[in-house]
Each structure stands twice: as structure tokens, then as C-alpha cells.
Amino acid sequence: MNNKATFTLLITCPDRKGLVAGISEFLYLHGANIVHADQHQDGVLFLMRIEWEIKGFDLSLFDFRHAFGPLAAKFGMHWRIEESGSRPRMAIFVSRYDHCLVDLLYRHRSGELHCDIPLVIGNHAETQDLAAFYGIPFHLVEVEKGRKEEAEALQLQLLRHHDIDFVVLARYMQELSGEFVSEYPERIINIHHSFLPAFHGARPYHRAFERGVKLIGATAHYVTDMLDEGPIIEQDVIRVSHRDALPDLIQKGKDLEKIVLSRAVRWHLENRIIVTSGKTVVFD
């Protein structure tokens, strides 16, 4: 990451001549020193991430939105601008498995994840002491059979109260309703313990073991109202063999899950992801 204060602009629009020149000229005329620029053409679509230093730039965040409007309208852009100094507010949902939660809290304390974590929400109490160790308030919201709607209403109340920007499901073993997901579109990140689309749903390690696979994986994706079908952010795999028993697969998978989830969260925080047509473009 660039250590200087920066603005980051993400753009999606129909591809046509003059886009890069128009954007670059606009930034140049306002004194921008560009530190990173990347673009991608996906068929007829143009996608871009461009980052520049705030120092020497003559537009505030508020003024930029007005000044950039005519150029954005000319090219039919969907765009957003973010400031590196902002600290998004992240909530973590967890069930009994604590390995992803431990990893996120450690990375946050070490400064790797540039965000605030106002709360952890669990549907079991096992991880309460862990959250307390890191000084994060823990809220137990049990999800009883036939009463999920009540639990989600309480969860949403907590998220609104704490002005949460996005949610991370750190092995939260409950399916969220479409109504809940619609409150945070493309702002809920889940870790699934398989290499999607293989072995979606429950007990993927057991099914992988039964099939005798030679590779297992983990997938971080944005949550939609279709289970395990959201836009994929990151994936990784590890080799297994006939010598590995089911507990071995599970242990190896846990290591993958932590790495894949932390990458996805970091890229989300660094504004490196654009979602288009049910897929993601992740700018490195």
C-alpha cells in the first residue's frame, strides 16, 4: 500500500476511445500526482482503478464529486471515490469455529487491516472470551429454529446502531435471508470452505473426502440471496492425498480459509474490487 494519503477512483462504463485520456487530463489539470493506475476491458465494458496523492490536489472530496460529474456523464460512468485515511467500520459474525476470527482480530491489531471493528456478533458464546481479549464488544444473538427473522432484526439493529459499513462472516454457520443481504449489497464477505463451485453448501470437507479429491480449497465471496453463489473475490487450494484422513483435510482447510478471507477483506478495504455481471475484477 502507498503510505501517503491518497484518493482512489473506481470506474465502470462502456468502453470507448478517449476514456483514459479524459480521466488523466482531468486529474492533471487539478494537480494530481498519480501513484497507481490500472484498467481492464471486459468485452464492451471499461473498468479502471486510479489512485493519486491528496497532497497538491486542488479538489476536496466534496468538490471532486461536482467537478468530475460532467466528464462522468459524458462517458456514462458508474464511479465512486474513496480516501485512504477513512476507516470503514467492520462487523464480524461468527459461530463456534474461531480460527478465522482469531486471524482477523490479530491482523487488525497488527495494523494490517485499516478499519475499525466496533463489535463481534456470535450465535454461540464460545468466542466471547476471544473477542474480549482483543477488546472488542461481543453480542450473543442466538438463532433459534423458526425465529431467524427475530434474530436478524436484532442483528440489523446492532449494525445500524454502530454505523457498520460492511460485514464479514468468519465461518458464521447460518444462511442470511435475502432481506438481510439487501441491507448490505456487495458489503458482506463470506468464507466458504471449498473451492467453489465444487462442494457448495454444508459439510464440503466431508464430501471432498468421500470423493477422494487431490486438491481442497477455500473461497471468499460477496454474499447474495443465493447460497454460495455470490461474486468470488479470492480462492486458493492445497494438495491432499490418500494418506490424509478427514481431520487432516479440515486442518489444512482451516489454514487456507484464514489466508483467503484476510486477503478478501484487505482488498475490500483497499478499494481494489469492482463487481460486474456477477463477477469481480480485483486490481492488484
Task: State how beta strands 6-14 and 45-53 pair.
Answer: antiparallel
Q: Which residues are 150's β-sheet partners?
A: none
Tell the residue number behind the cell numbers 480516501, with chain if given: 83
Task: State how beta strands 138-140 and 166-169 pair.
Answer: unpaired
Which residues are tagged catalytic?
228
Burial of 232 (0-12, 13-18, 19+ CB in 10 A): buried
Give dist(CA 30, CA 20) in Å, integer.
16
Written as nine digits, the cell of 252 is 489444512
Give dist(CA 242, CA 240) in Å, integer.
7
Residue 152's alpha-carbon distances to 101, 146, 209, in angstroms, are 20, 12, 34
